[in-house]
Every structure is written in C-alpha cells, then in structure tokens.
Copies of this chain bind each other. A is one copy, B any other.
C-alpha cells in the first residue's frame, strides 16, 4: 500500500508576496506534494493553516503515515490544541518531516525540547550539502555533495538535541556551516529535519531536494499499527506481576486507582 503523506503548508507568503507566488503559484505545499506523488509508492495530499483545524483533524492524522511541515511567518497562529494532537500522532507512530524555517514551528520545538535557534542571513548565497553518512537511506541516489545556487544561510550553533544521526552538513558561501539533515525518534515516530527551502528561491523544484524528501518519507514511515494511547501509564496489579510477589509495605494508591499526572 502506498505511503500516505500529508504536506502541511503555512500558505501565507505564497499569497502575500509576489516573488514567492511566482515560484510557487499553487503554494509550496503543492509543489512538494506533486513531486512526491510522482513516486508510485507514495500518495500525497495537502492541507494548510487556513483550513479548519489547520487541516489536521483527528481523522486526517489517522490517515497520514508521514506529515511534512513547512511554516515561517505564522508559527504563532498554530493552535496549541492542534500541536498536542500532532505530537500525540507522532508518539503513536506517525512519521514527521520538518522543512527549513519549521525549526521554529511549535511542533518541532515541542518534540525537540530545546530552543531550536540558529543564525541566519538572507543573501541568496550558495549552499552545498555534504553527506556525512554515505548509503544512509535518506541519501539514496545522491552524490556525496550537491549545491543550491541561491539559499538563505542558517548557521551553527543549531539549538537542537544531539541527533540519532547527522545525515547532511551544509557549507555556505559566506563562511558558515549547518547540520542540515538530522534524524530523531520520539515515541514510535520517526522525525527528520531538513534545512533547505527558503520561500524566495526555487528550492523545492530542485531534483536533489525532491529526492531527499522522498527518501525521508520512506525512512520515516513506520508500518506498525498506531499505538492506541501513546501516553498511557498503566498500573500492573500485584496479581498480574510477571513474577509472583507479595505486596508489602505502605502504599499511596488504592487498588484500581489511576496514577497521578
């Protein structure tokens, strides 16, 4: 069965900024989804900030194997309730890919537990991404390095936790470096951060970038059934302990009581 991808687009600059609108006439999310949809193994749809529930209803998340998130100007408009819902879906097994300025999105910051800050410069300079981990599934089919002639610079230190793996590191013409492709696991969900994608440049039309995103979708997909309640903290009664034991000593909880939260 095809991997069901939902591309979440903030869809603000595409409508307000002439330059962005010319590069992405149907929105960045549409360009990203169309590229994925050309792969036989993927079915991609799009939702935006402006949709009810930002397009992320419980039903939609339940039908999403991998969620892709691009946001920049309107991080603060994303409702906290939806952020909780997205994190729960990740913890129960949904994959998630954060692109570029989504480093400051609410769900990325929530999943990282860290500031997620960096330095930046919007000068249309050259970026060159290098693999650090040759033959990593996210790097499948890519050369050891590839270039984007015009990109925004993001510089270290990047305020994220040490990743499970560093897959790409970027070189910038102006002298900075950045860990551009990072993998994490949160609960049962696979998380990938991928740096490129400033909205005033045609980055998501680039074949190498499209390849990385497609590879990341396949890597992030967890085929296991979703965990019903990823936050459950069940009591194991004494008579159901794997080894026979006798209760002893004082206790706080009565039999059958819920734990504190």
Contact surface of A with B, Cβ cutoff 8 Å: 13, 17, 19, 72-76, 87, 91, 93, 101, 104, 110-115, 117-125, 128, 130-137, 140, 144-145, 147, 150, 153, 155-159, 161-162, 164-166, 169-177, 179, 184-188, 199-201, 222-224, 227, 230-238, 241-243, 245-253, 259-261
Q: Is the CB of B248 within 8 A of A123?
A: yes
**Interchain Cβ contacts under 8 Å between A and B, 21 examples:** A19-B250, A91-B159, A111-B114, A117-B230, A117-B232, A120-B235, A121-B236, A123-B245, A124-B247, A125-B241, A130-B155, A133-B185, A134-B157, A137-B222, A159-B231, A161-B161, A161-B184, A162-B164, A175-B242, A200-B252, A201-B249
Q: Tell me the smallest distance from the CB of A108 to a CB of chain B, in Å.
A: 9
**9 nearest A-B pairs in the assembled complex, by CB-CB distance:** A124-B249, A175-B242, A135-B188, A174-B241, A175-B243, A113-B113, A124-B248, A111-B113, A117-B233
**Distance, CA A76 to CA B261, complexed state (A):** 7
**Distance, CA A120 to CA B232, complexed state (A):** 11
From B121, B234, B249, contact of A235 by CB (8 A): B121
Q: Tell me the smallest distance from the CB of A69 to a CB of chain B, in Å.
A: 15
Protomer copies:
4
**Distance, CA A74 to CA B260, complexed state (A):** 8
**Distance, CA A138 to CA B111, complexed state (A):** 23
Closest to A118 in B: B233
Chain B residues near A147: list those with CB within 8 A: 242
Q: Is the CB of B200 within 8 A of A186?
A: no
Chain B residues near A241: list those with CB within 8 A: 121, 123, 125, 153, 174-176
Q: Is the CB of B233 within 8 A of A120?
A: yes
**Distance, CA A252 to CA B179, complexed state (A):** 23
Q: Is the CB of B134 within 8 A of A188?
A: yes
Q: Is the CB of B169 within 8 A of A177?
A: yes
Q: Is the CB of B242 within 8 A of A135?
A: no
Chain B residues near A130: list those with CB within 8 A: 155-157, 176-177
**A134, A150, A184 — most chain B CB neighbours (10 Å):** A134
Q: Tell me the smallest distance from the CB of A228 to a CB of chain B, in Å.
A: 11
From B72, B74, B113, B150, contact of A110 by CB (8 A): B113
